[in-house]
Amino acid sequence: MAGTKHDELDALRADLRKAREPKRRRAPAPQAKEPDPVATDTSATAELQKQLKDLEEVLSEYAESAEDIIAKHPLVAVGAAFVLGIAIGRLFGRD
Mean pLDDT by 10 residues, the chain (95 residues): 78 82 66 63 86 95 93 95 95 81
pTM of the model: 0.43
Angle between the N-to-C axes of helices 74-92 and 37-72, in degrees from 0 to 180, rounded to the nearest 10: 120
Position 60 scores a pLDDT of 94
Domain borders along the chain are 38-95
pLDDT of residue 93: 85
Q: Say if residues 89 and 81 touch (Cβ distance below 8 Å).
A: no
pLDDT of the residue at 12:
84
pLDDT given for residue 58 in this prediction: 95
Closest CA to 58 of 66, 47, 70, 46: 66
